[in-house]
Structure formats: C-alpha cells, structure tokens
Amino acid sequence: MSYLRSVLFLAVIFLLNITVMSQGVSRAECFPFEKLSPDKRKIAEELLLKAMDEAALYTLVGGIKPMSSGIRSYSVRTSLPRISVEDARKIIAEFGDKKPDELKPDERGRLSEAKQALERHDALSDIADVREVLQQWRCGDDFFADIQHYTAVYEGKRFLDIVVFSRPALRRMIEERENFFSRWGITPGSHPLEVLYAVENEKTSARNGGYGYLFGYPDHAVRFFVEASNEENLTGQFVVRDFISIPTFARDTNFFVYAVPKGYTADAVDTSLRDRSVKVLNEYRKRRENYVGDGKRGILELVRDWFCDSNGQCSQKNAKF
C-alpha cells in the first residue's frame, strides 16, 4: 500500500511539473538580463528595443517570422593580422595623429596594417560581448538568438549578423515544408543554427527558398524569389519586380518585405499576413507608448508584462494581440 501511495505521489508531482512547464517560466527567467553586467544589460536592452521596433517584432511576438536578422551587423577581415594588438596600438599612438603626406611610404603601410589589426580585434571583442548578451534572449525554450556569419567574402571581409528565432514557429514551418527541408536532413527538432547554416551554405537556388521560408514569406513569394534567381543566373538579366512591405514601428517599408512579380496584386494570403502582423504592431505601439521613454519602465518590462500571465508564468504564447 505504501508503495502504491509513493507511485501515486510521484505521478502527481510529475503531472504538476508538466503543467507548470507548459505554462512557461518564471518572470525572472524570461529575458533574464539581470544576469548580465550593467554595461551588457544596457546593450541587451538597446538591442531588444531595436528588434521590437523592426521586423524581429514578428518573430518575438506571434511567431509570424520564424527568423529575423539585421538587428546589428558586423564585418571581420579574413586576412590574419601580421602584428599583435599591442604593437598596433603603439604604431597608432606614434603615427595616428599625423597627416598622410607627413608619413613615409613604409610608415603609411605600417599605420594601415595597425588600424586593420585593431579594427579586427575590436570587432571580435564586440561580437563576443553581444554573443554573451544574446544568451539571455530566452523565455523558456521559445527563442534562440546568436550571431551568424555569412559564407561569402566581399572585398576581403566576412559579414556577420544577429539572428533571432522563434523555436515554435521554426518547428511549425519545417513540419509544413518537410519535403523542402528534407534535402538537408532537417527535421522539426533540428537546432536553429543547423537549419540556418544548411540554407546559408547551399549552392543552388534552394538557398533563396530556404531563406524565404525562414523569413516568413508566403509560398508564392518564395517561388518567385527562386524562379527569378534561376532566370537571372541563366540569362544574366535582372528580373524586374515589385515589393510588398509589412509595416514596423521604425518604418513602414523595407524591414519585413518580400519581392513579387511586376504588376502583382496582393491576394488573400498577403492580406491575411499583413492583417495579422498589423494587429501585433498596433498592440506594440500602445504598449511602447506606456513603457519606453524617460522615467518609464523600459522595453524589458514591456516584454515581460506582455509574455507573463496572471500567475507569473511567461511564454511567447501568452502575448495577446
């Protein structure tokens, strides 16, 4: 009898834990910026506000876009520096204040090399700091954020970008487009970066399709994106197009935007996507007015109040709009 009671007790505890987990996490664990140093917390809140003001709002609230990027970008020279950071600082201290015509050719070369070495060091330092900040962009398992590097190199530089995912939206999107993503062995449980780098490193036009789906574009826009790319590769001629933009707080156009054929008229799919997005935006505008500005509670409390229910359990799914 005691054994049966023990089993029943453990079963009840298990069910209670499952119920709590399904509701979300505590307020302190939803974007837990308090775990950061004051300087890094400031960065975290600045980036979160920028994300919410731009297209990432539709990733963080509602999961309309499985992924958003462009919150902050970086570049790193691919050539390795031939001098140390310490030597670079010494050279800049010695020659940095002089005009170019006051320097000998070898001195100009050393100064240029020193500036490039220091630029690389500072960029990597900034990237490391922001990666630490992005580890706290979480509310349970709802989100994942990191810095992506792009495969292509332009003029000796590799470019990087902050990316943020809605894990539930990413899983749904992959389930709905299982055939498309199966070429990479991607499944709904794949890590967001596994999905992203499979798409980024694809050599065919499927790369464009993959990015289109990650960014939340409708099927018809993704098809046009891919077909236009194939035509341009075949003919060398740019395919003229129009664009459909979903407004954001920061700007009405060009943040959440996708290409369509020239002369295209928006259909029910486009209208539905816009209407759902605008509902999110209108709710954000109202909340932003109350939370953001001198003497107000700030973007972190805006997000927490939006995501947390009356029991103090926080999840993306609690955000009403």
pLDDT digits (tens, 9 = 90+) for 9-49: 444 443 344 444 447 999 999 999 999 999 999 999 999 99
pLDDT > 70 in the chain, percent: 93
Q: pLDDT value at position 221? A: 98
Name the band, by pLDDT with cuts 50, 70 and 90, for residue 96: confident
pLDDT tens digits, one per residue of 123-137 = 999 999 999 999 999
Q: Over 80: is that where the pLDDT of 91 sits?
A: yes
pLDDT > 90 in the chain, percent: 85
Q: pLDDT value at position 14? A: 39
Q: How many domains does the chain have?
A: 1
Q: Determine phi and psi for 313, rounding to 5 degrees.
A: -95, 130
Looking at every residue in the chain, the average pLDDT score rounds to 92
Q: Which residues are within 8 A (CB) of 280 and not within 5 positions of it... i.e. 6 or more apart?
A: 57, 58, 61, 62, 64, 321
Q: Over 60: is that where the pLDDT of 8 sits?
A: no
Q: pLDDT value at position 52? A: 98
Region of poorest pLDDT, from 84-93, 122-131, 213-222, 224-233 = 84-93
In a domain, 269, yes or no: yes
In a domain, 308, yes or no: no
DSSP H or E stretch at residue 158 = strand 157-166
Contact 248, 255 (CB under 8 A): yes
In a domain, 176, yes or no: yes
pTM (two decimals): 0.89
In a domain, 93, yes or no: yes
Taking residues 95-116, report their average pLDDT.
Answer: 87
Q: pLDDT value at position 7? A: 40
In a domain, 23, yes or no: no
Q: pLDDT value at position 2? A: 52
Name the band, by pLDDT with cuts 50, 70 and 90, for residue 5: low
DSSP H or E stretch at residue 48 = helix 38-53
Q: pLDDT value at position 193? A: 98
CA-closest candidate to residue 124, choices 74, 179, 186: 74
Neighbours of 24 (CB within 10 A): 24
In a domain, 314, yes or no: no
In a domain, 310, yes or no: no
In a domain, 276, yes or no: yes
Instruction: Give the range of the structural domain holding residue 222, as residue numbers without chain letter.
Output: 37-300
Question: Where on the phi/psi map is residue 105: left (φ > 0), alpha (ψ -120 to 50), or beta?
Answer: alpha
pLDDT tens digits, one per residue of 285-305 = 999 999 999 999 999 999 999
